[in-house]
A and B are shown apart, each in its own frame.
Chain A
Amino acid sequence: MLNIKGEKYKDITAKFIFKKLITEYSFILSFVLLIVIAGIVNKNFFTWTNISNIFIQSSMIGLIAMGMSMVISAGEIDISVGSQVALIGGFGILVLNLTGSALLMILFCAVFGLFVGTINGLLITKGGMPSMIATMAMMGAARSIINHFGSGGPFTVSKELFGSFRLLAVGGVPLWGNVKIPYLMIIFVIVAIIFDIIMKQTKLGKHIYAVGSNETSARLSGVNVDLIKILVFAITGLMCGLAAVIYASRLTAVAAASAAVGYEMETIAAVAIGGTAMSGGRGKILGTFMGVLMFKMISNILTAADVSTFLNGAISGAIIVIAVLMQNYQNRKKI
């Protein structure tokens, strides 16, 4: 990198990079460590099937975690994401069965997601509610509405659409022979890149960090704090909508009562191990991206080690606690 005078930036030295790696990019170290452990535990870890599986399994949580990264960077939290997926997915399947068009369904889910997210945002900004409370209300309401319309049972993709609609989840772009890059992997990576650009290189991204770091200072610099908060929740809603499409495609059904339960824990855990500060203002999309993959790798390792899947919640809880404790420890050292 060169500055205007053509001189090299003096500050990018090996020492600088090392310091950054330890302080700001420590998630890369944990990511590498985890890959080594996973490679040792699981002999098939480095096969393409396994790796693409991890991406496929991560894609839903991954999309939502991108939105959650924004919400947490803005100093807020959204615990309604699981219920949103169930609500949007349930109605989305109804739309699919009714119209027979996957495109219409995707459009519906996206708009519906934006709508639900915007309501969250409005409650928090215009209604002055703490985000924990507003999204908790949304969590309960969304789940209850979809339970009501599904009478507690599942929404199922109709038989004739089944085959084609499932392609989204199982299909991919052929690379050579039998090897193909799954669509979900492509979607996840592209969305992550877009979010990374937004957070690093656009006004919106800078404003999100500014609001999360210090709302008053942000307002006094002319940032429209309310708009930024509404936007981050709306974008999270949009991501929930897209995740709902993927959910419906992978399972070809959305069970009203149990679909996407616990997603809020998993996404928050992924964001936390990705190094995003729970207090807002600091965080990286690359961190969240790796965080999501790490989360899946951890549960894969545990499955390989015969740990009960019932313990998933305990594991996400433990991950959040450990990640945040480590952040706090680092911050304390700085002072």
Chain B
Amino acid sequence: MLVEMKGITKEFGPVRALDNVDFKIDTGEIVGLVGENGAGKTTLMNILTGTYTATNGDVFIDGKKVQISNIRVANQYGIRFIRQELNLCNDLRVFENMFLADEIKNKYGLLNKKEMIKQSEMVFKRMNVRIDPESIMRDLQAAEKQLVEIAKALLFKCELIIMDEPTTALSTHEIEDLFKIMRLLVEEGVSFIYISHKMPELFDICEKYYVLRDGKLVSQGEFEDIDENDITEMMIGRYLLDEKFSQHTNSSREEVAISVKNLSGRGFHNISFDVQKGEVIAITGLQGSGRDEIADALFGEEAFSGQLIVGGKQIKPGSNIRKFMKRGIGLVPRMRKERGIHNDLSIYDNINMAYLNTKFKNILISNKKVHSRYINHKEALDIRAGSPRNPITSLSGGNQQKVILGKWLETDADILLFDNPTQGIDVGTKFEIYHLIADLAVEGKAIIVFSPEFPEIYKVADRCIVLYKGTINAVLGREELTEKNIMYYSTGANLEVENA
């Protein structure tokens, strides 16, 4: 099956997410689709699978123009999209998941369990994996769940499988197994579009590449002809790659702002580190490495044991979030939409929320004071907004993030936690946020950035803590900060060598 997308343009209101993109994949090919977050990869795939309709441009299958208006139509053409967050019902059995919405019925209209189990088994055999179709989805490993999704695709004679970051939750061995299965299927004529940030994997499994940047196709070709630096440059653009933001090598860094000793909790143990005033440290690790949990623990959202010393005094485990806030900690949470903003509320109310909980002492709120505080931070953070009475959703993602940051400037927080702060934010605003982080550090704030993205860490951090399975595997200084090092330590490769 030859799938071609020609001149695809997609506009969301005034934002052009995709701009005249051409894409092509032939039978039995594995194509790597790369680009930074927000470059338009997922949008392009959503158009191919009918979740979005393109503003302009056409899709051709085997040379014939087709209209893919929804996911069912895409499935009928043999195209399946395996998303990063798997689409599985954890409480159902494996075979029930595989046949969800396409159940096999007997002549009385009741479910034909036997046939479904038999067909599931056949698919697993074809993939050469051992999964019991009758086991409950919840009991499966992350890697097995991934395989069930692939099996589901094969079950319905799927010829093109799109995989979005399939390996984030997998160990090195599991990734190798997955690649083996993919190669097996390629022999049979199945093709794959592989979306990933991980260079070694891309070079390992893919033949061709397509690079998107800011919604435009910037390059395409064969992986043979390029190396990792080439592709990173294409993704980010050279002019940006070289820019460093952590120039704040001032000497006033004697005072420890926050000190963590033997912090343990759900998903992390024995974490110890200090952050000095004016220092930016990054904490990174793969999904499930405890990165999210540590971020939450440092703000009292997640239970922990051990010592957390802020400004010389301990914050006891089990204290509520207001205690953390009053001691000068502020959190810019990950997943802005779900955890950061109040989308029904105005910009005023959003930026004011933390202030109300820490500093506000009166009975009635004065609109005048709210406004004057807002104006101060609007200028400092360069928030581009119309009326502050408008809902926060009227702003772009980056400006929403600045409002959330402003929330903590209102409380005069001097320890700022940034948990994946540039998720889903366009490149331009990303850099503004990096500048803000650097500026805040110069002002003497202690900053911890939790991030999975190397370019981001490289740009802002003075030091980087790399987590592996809930413990600190390495602390990298400025000169040791390379993507390779981070990948090496976050996958626990050093430990595997020692064990072998």
Interface assignment of B375: CB less than 8 Å from any CB of chain A = yes
B338–A216 touching, CB < 8 Å: yes
For B339-353 the 0/1 string (1 means CB < 8 A from A) is 111111100010011
Q: Are A16 and B321 in contact (CB under 8 A)?
A: no
Contact A213 B357 (CB under 8 A): no
- B-contacting residues, A216-248, CB 8 Å: 216-224
Contact B386 A11 (CB under 8 A): yes
Docked-complex contact B299 and A220, CB < 8 angstroms: yes
The answer to whether B371 touches A11, judged by C-beta atoms less than 8 angstroms apart, is no
Mask for A193-217, Cβ within 8 A of B = 1, else 0? 0000100011100110110111011
User: Is B371 in contact with A3, judged by CB distance below 8 angstroms?
Assistant: yes
B331 and A210 contact, CB distance less than 8 A: no
Chain A's interface size range is 20 to 34
| B301 A213 Cβ-Cβ under 8 A | no
Given contacts A219-B301, A222-B358, contact A213 B344 (CB under 8 A): yes
Interface digits, A1-45 against B, CB 8 Å rule (1 contact, 0 not)?
Answer: 101100001010000100000000000000000000000000000
Task: Say whether A11 contacts B389, CB under 8 Å.
Answer: yes
Which residue on chain A has the smallest CB distance to residue B386?
Answer: A11
Shortest C-beta distance, A217 to chain B (Å), equals 5
Nearest Cβ in chain A — how far from B356, in angstroms? Answer: 5
How far, in Å, is B423 (CB) from chain A's closest CB? Answer: 15
Answer whether residue A297 sits at the interface, using C-beta atoms and an 8 A cutoff: no
Answer whether A202 and B340 are a contact pair too, CB < 8 Å, given A209-B349, A220-B333, A221-B357: no
B341 A217 Cβ-Cβ under 8 A: yes
Contact with A206, one of B325, B341, B349, B407 (Cβ below 8 angstroms): B349
List the B side residues contacting A281 at CB < 8 Å.
342-345
| Least distance between A278 CB and chain B CB atoms (Å) | 12
Instruction: Report whether B375 and A4 are in contact in the complex, using a CB–CB cutoff of 8 Å.
Output: yes
A223 touching B372 in the complex, CB below 8 Å, given contacts A202-B365, A210-B345, A217-B340: no
State whether the Cβ of B15 lies closer than 8 Å to any Cβ in chain A: no
Give the CA-CA distance A213 to B352 in the complex, in Å: 15
The A268-284 residues at the B interface (CB cut-off 8 A) are 277, 280-282
- Which residues of B have CB within 8 Å of A223? 353, 357
Whether A222 contacts B322 by the Cβ 8 Å rule is yes
Decide if B375 touches A3 in the complex (CB within 8 Å).
yes
Determine if B354 is an interface residue (Cβ-Cβ < 8 Å). Answer: yes
Question: Residue on A with the closest CB to B387?
Answer: A11
Tell me the minimal C-beta distance from A334 to chain B in angstroms: 8
Q: Which residues from chain A contact B386 at a C-beta distance below 8 Å?
A: 11
Q: How far is the CA of A221 from the CA of B354 in the complex (A)?
A: 5
Interface string of B312-352 (1 = CB under 8 A from A): 00000000111001000001010000111111110001001
B130 at the interface (CB under 8 A from A): no
Chain A residues lying within 8 Å of B321, measured Cβ to Cβ, are 219-220, 222
The verdict on B364 contacting chain A, using a C-beta distance below 8 Å, is yes
Q: Would B371 and A4 count as touching, CB distance under 8 A?
A: yes
Residues of A within 8 A of B354 (CB): 221-222
Query: What 9 pairs across the A-B complex have the smallest Cβ distances?
Result: A281-B344, A11-B387, A222-B357, A213-B342, A213-B344, A221-B353, A222-B322, A4-B372, A282-B344
A interface list, Cβ under 8 A from B: 1, 3-4, 9, 11, 16, 197, 201-203, 206-207, 209-210, 212-214, 216-224, 277, 280-282
Write 24 A-B pairs (CB below 8 A) sorted by A numbering.
A1-B367, A3-B372, A4-B375, A202-B365, A203-B357, A203-B360, A206-B349, A209-B345, A210-B342, A212-B344, A213-B343, A214-B343, A216-B333, A217-B333, A217-B339, A217-B341, A217-B342, A217-B353, A219-B301, A219-B321, A220-B299, A221-B354, A222-B321, A222-B353
